Amino acid sequence: MRDVHIDRLVEIVGERRCLWRPHQVKAYACDGYTAEEGLPRAVVFPETTEEVSRICRYLYENDIPYLPRGAGTGLSGGATPTGGEVVISLARMNKLLAVDFDNLRAVVQPGLVNLTLTRRVSHADCYYAPDPSSQSVCTIGGNFAENAGGSHCLKYGVTTNHVVAAKVVLPDGDVIDVGAPFGDAPGYDLLGLLVGSEGTLGIATEITVRILKKPQALRTALAYFDRVADASDTVTDIIGAGIIPAAIEMMDQLAMQAVDKSNYHVGYPTDIEAVLLIEVDGLAAGVDELMARVVEICRRHRVREVRVAQSDAERALWWSSRKMAFGAMGRISPDYIVQDGVIPRTRLTEVLQKIDEVSRRYGLKIANVFHAGDGNLHPLILYDSRVPGEAERAVRAGSEVLRACVDAGGSITGEHGVGIEKIGEMAYMFSEDEIHAQRAVKSCFDPKGIVNAGKLIPLPGRCVEVKRAREIIEENWQILNSFPDQAAVQARGAFVQQPGREASTSAQG
């Protein structure tokens, strides 16, 4: 309903840049994680840092919860207004403010789309390195907040390694400059804390990033393995041989079947267990030699066939086949959940076996597509929500997969973030003291606890609650059948952006 607060927001940004009618704000009920939704109180579209600051100051003074939003492609619910927040969309702040090619820095507004940045600097043979598969839509601000990764971060690093400075509007509306375009800023590393904070500590309104020169040359190979273990060992041995490829991606047979049914048909053999997509880059004089060594290592591990791309078109096909893998799941399963666990690379074979066991135990197929070089798994748990109980099983299987990752010394998320989706799993990974310390950081930035609350850091007591709830569920999991709706939404395929439904769920879902 339009109330005095909406009037105030309209005073700041004007009628056209403030949406509040339910049918207008419905599209902002969730992000790429569609399991939970909530209607925002309003959606505002500031165009300047000054406006963002005035909005934040007003909302904070009046104890009105709010959250920032980029393109809404997040996969963990970071931009979902579960508490009736005012959504501050940065979509209209999408300018490339400055590029300094000589010193290799660009200053962007947060709403600039990742790939647009690369396009805008590519005439000078430059690019922005972090390349999430969603790069044609997601924003640099969203990348900043999620510390987004991509296929090439094994060699080139993730967002935090490429953002060097930012202008940030703090929860109460104060504006600070953090980081330094070159070198290090004096004082604590506030920039380091803000990157990956999922919009819970402040809103980045200007971001300075490093841009890189494109590599002189690259070579891409596709290697088919009869056995997953051989593929895993190949990855380890390539790195052991002192080669850091630009990317090493792996897909298993199920994933291959799915992508071969998509528009990007490669024609993978149907009787191999794993395919590796390996890319090396660097100076033209050396890449062939590097690739020759990679091929030799593949051979040492009983590769069935290894091919080096002979043309850009071939390379592009292989990459599309890999990058479209999530979407292609729709071809072999009505629904799926994507997980994002990380493990030490050397334990790949062992964890894949565990995932296989989970798959058998739950009677659900799990396709594996992942950044093998850095051990970032994306197990895709396939299910059919029309089959009673299957969605619940998929959720539990997913949770078990994450637990296997943590048990192997890894993490519950490598790039998609915690958001609301994995807030329960935080307790697998961190002790109560560790979560307490993170909560204390949150309070330093947001003492009122109203900015994107209920995301990333479990509220006090919640970890224990979650653990207890999990135990109860484990002992007696049929109980979930009594909440079919909740489990079904929980498990819906994350990539199909559902048109926002009018609904409001509590922060804890």
Site for other proteins in 145-204 (CB under 8 A): 146-147, 149, 153-154, 157-158, 160-161, 170, 174-178, 180-184, 186-193, 195-197, 201
Which of residues 248, 429, 463, 489 is near other proteins by CB under 8 A? 429
Question: Under the criterion CB under 6 A, does residue 109 sit at the interface with ligand FAD?
Answer: no
Site residues for other proteins, 54-113, by CB under 8 A, read 100-105
Q: Which of 507, 312, 480, 353 is nearest to 423 (CA)?
A: 507
Closest to ligand FAD by CB, 39 vs 71, is 71
Contacts by residues 165-168 (CB-CB < 8 Å, ≥ 24 positions apart): 165/191, 165/207, 165/208, 166/191, 166/194, 166/204, 166/206, 166/207, 166/208, 167/49, 167/204, 167/205, 167/206, 167/207, 168/194, 168/202, 168/203, 168/204, 168/205
Which of residues 90, 223, 306, 372 is near ligand FAD by CB under 6 A? 90
Which of residues 18, 67, 329, 427 is near ligand FAD by CB under 6 A? 67
Distance CA 475, CA 483 (A): 17
**Residue 288 Cβ, how far from other proteins at the closest point, in Å?**
9
Q: Are strands 86-89 and 66-69 parallel, antiparallel or unpaired?
A: parallel
Site residues for ligand FAD, 313-332, by CB under 6 A, read 326
Question: Under the criterion CB under 6 A, does residue 71 sit at the interface with ligand FAD?
Answer: yes
| Token duo for residue 186 | 């004096």
Which of residues 411, 486, 498, 508 is near other proteins by CB under 8 A? 411
Closest to other proteins by CB, 157 vs 327, is 157
Check: CB of residue 56 under 8 Å from CB of residue 38: no
Check: CB of residue 386 under 8 Å from CB of residue 263: no
Beta bridge partners of 371: 249, 376
Termini Cα distance of the chain: 24
Site residues for other proteins, 339-398, by CB under 8 A, read 342-346, 371, 374-376
Sketch the per residue contact string, 435 through 454, with other proteins: x for CB under 8 A, - otherwise: xxxx-xxxxxx---------
Distance CA 280, CA 248 (A): 9
Which of residues 49, 53, 73, 333 is near ligand FAD by CB under 6 A? 73
Q: Which stretch binds other proteins (CB under 8 A): 6-14, 38-46, 54-62, 403-411?
A: 403-411
Question: Under the criterion CB under 8 A, does residue 475 sit at the interface with other proteins?
Answer: no
Name the residue with the smallest CB distance to ligand FAD: 142
Distance CA 369, CA 374 (A): 13
